[in-house]
Amino acid sequence: MGHIVNQEREYRLLQQRLDKNITGAPYSPVFIQILKLLFVPAEAAIARQIPLRPTSITALSRKTGVPLPELKEKILSMAKKGLVFDFEYKGECHVVLAPVVIGFFEFVFMRTRDNLDMTELAHLFHQYMLEDDKFARDIFQESTQIGRALVREEAIPAGDYSEVLDWEKASQVIQSAKTIGISLCACRHKASHLGQACDAPLRTCLTFGSGAQMMISKGIAELSNVSEAMAVLEQCKQAGLAQIADNVKHTVGYMCNCCGCCCGMFQAVRTFNIQNAIVTSSWVVHTDTAKCTGCGLCVKACPVEAFSLENDSVTGKPKAVCDSELCVGCGVCYSACRRGCIVMEKREQRVMVPENTFDRMVNMAIERGKLSSFLFDDPSRLSHRALGRVASAIEKSAPVKALLAVKPLRSAFLRTLVAGAQKYTK
């Protein structure tokens, strides 16, 4: 009986460890069931001790007491299942515990599996993510998000096209990538096991750079090239899918091709009214009502249901109206419109996007009150525990919250704070 109790404890501790991640993993009996399907007890006991920041296998062996050869075997097993990230750094293997998203949810469903009950997992993830809003509100709270919309370049008027920056162009993200991987869309694959998938293409998820290399090596993605990835992009545009990318300017890690019905980000907007779940592009819909015939194709195409048909005050005929507060600036409606009524115009204020992944994660950590976990994450080290408490107190103080409300000051504050913390996180 004690052995069973200890196993339960390991899974509960693993959930608590995952909840320290920036995107969170709130407790639910359903989530514990998911962990039990994915991690055997011995893996859970190790995983809950893996810091959220990279740690060497050697250091982890000392911390857990698991002999190095045995630990390497277990880490490799978890990495193949997509539960941890492992990589070489300075000739030594390092490991990071994968978050739920973007992390092991995607890695489980981005390929077909014969060693897991995918239908049971699909039902459990659906319950956890969508039967109440707790998980979604944990992920998508505050303003800095994991994903941002890319505008369709062809929807930009010629006079404004020069103002579309490289990191705003799906084509440029693909063409500048050193390595490209292609996988199944995790969201539509999950929906297929529930009998709820739409008829959009499935092999549409693109990953880039070192992340793609890692996923290809573990069989999560297939090695691709620019030509094939551009063909996938065109296929997805023709299918009415929106392009959602990693919310960074440099070294973009992924690009999803998303439908409004299956995508978890769009479902957060549509189901739970979390309007900022996706960072908008710097463009917004402009409709020429004189050309509009009220056909409703844009209404059907919009993944966030920003369009409606309203009777014109003069003619009394239905016209398409877009709620600019809801519009994510993806441009899917432009392709759907057969009358040439829609173009994308610049928003009054250009959308702020973090420079790189580290900047995005620090922004998210501060906004969500998790900076202490992100910077000082190893609870076995006394210095990290002490500094974590200090950071936690700082980030929750009223003066710091006021400071972070001012974007230019927030940037300077983050640079100073992170630079000062670096020596303690090595």
Residues 5-42: tens digit of each pLDDT: 578 899 999 999 999 999 999 999 999 999 999 999 99
CA–CA distance, 209 with 197 (Å, rounded to integer):
29
Detail the DSSP E strand segments found in 269-340.
283-287, 307-311, 318-322
Confidence of residue 315 (pLDDT cuts 50, 70, 90): confident
Angle 407-421/357-367 helices, nearest 10 degrees?
100
E strands along 314-423, which residues? 318-322, 342-346
Condensed to tens digits (0 to 9), the pLDDT of residues 124-155 reads 999 999 999 999 999 998 889 999 999 999 99
CA 142 to chain centre: 14
Question: What pLDDT, on the 0 to 100 scale, is given for residue 56?
Answer: 92
Tens of pLDDT along 50-70?
Answer: 987 788 999 999 999 999 999
Which residues make Cβ contacts (< 8 Å) with residue 406, sequence separation at least 6?
none
Provide the CB-side half-sphere exposure for 78 (13 A, CA): 29
Residue 405 pLDDT: 52
% of the chain exceeding 90 in pLDDT: 71
Residues 6 or more apart from 201 whose CB is under 8 A from it?
Answer: 185, 232, 235, 236, 239, 241, 257
Between 291 and 404, name the one with better pLDDT. 291
Sign of the torsion angle spanned by Cα atoms 27, 29, 33, 36: positive
β pairing state of 205-208 and 180-183: antiparallel
Quote the percentage of the chain above a pLDDT of 70.
87
| CA nearest neighbour of 232 among 195, 191, 177, 279 | 177
* Mean pLDDT of all residues in 401-412: 54
**Residue 286 backbone phi and psi in degrees, to 5:** -125, 125
Which residue from 190, 148, 184, 154 is spatially nearest to 168, judged by alpha carbons? 148
Q: What domains appear along the chain, each with residue ranges and CATH number?
A: 2-98 (1.10.10.10), 142-272 (no CATH), 357-424 (no CATH)
* Mean pLDDT score, 112-125: 93
Q: Which residue has the tokens 């927030």?
A: 410
> For residue 65, what are the contacts with CB-CB under 8 A and spacing of at least 6?
none
pTM of the entire predicted model: 0.88
Distance CA(256)–CA(67), nearest Å, equals 39
Q: Look at residues 242, 195, 215, 248 and name the one whose alpha carbon lies nearest to residue 104.
A: 215
User: Please, which pLDDT band fits residue 3 given cuts at 50, 70 and 90?
Assistant: very low
Find the mean pLDDT for residues 97-114: 93
Q: What angle do CA 407, 411, 417 make, to 5 degrees?
A: 135
Phi (first) and psi of residue 379, to 5 degrees: -70, -10
DSSP E strand boundaries for 253-393: 254-258, 283-287, 307-311, 318-322, 342-346
Q: What is the DSSP letter of 150?
A: P
pLDDT in tens, 333-389: 999 999 999 999 999 988 989 988 888 888 888 888 887 777 666 655 545 555 555
Number of H helices, E strands in the chain: 20, 13
pLDDT in tens, 179-190: 999 999 999 999
Q: State mean pLDDT over 221-242.
A: 98
Question: What is the longest distance spanned by two Cα atoms in the chain?
Answer: 79
Q: CA 91 to CA 94: how far, in whole Å? A: 10
More confident residue, 392 or 339: 339
Contacts of 354 (CB under 8 A, 6+ apart): 144, 247, 248, 249, 360, 363
* Residue 412 pLDDT exceeds 80: no
**Residue partners of 161: CB distance under 8 A and separation at least 6:** 153
pLDDT at 312: 87
Return all residues near 101 (Cβ < 8 A) that are at least 6 apart.
23, 139, 146, 264
Q: Are 243 and 329 in contact (CB under 8 A)?
A: no
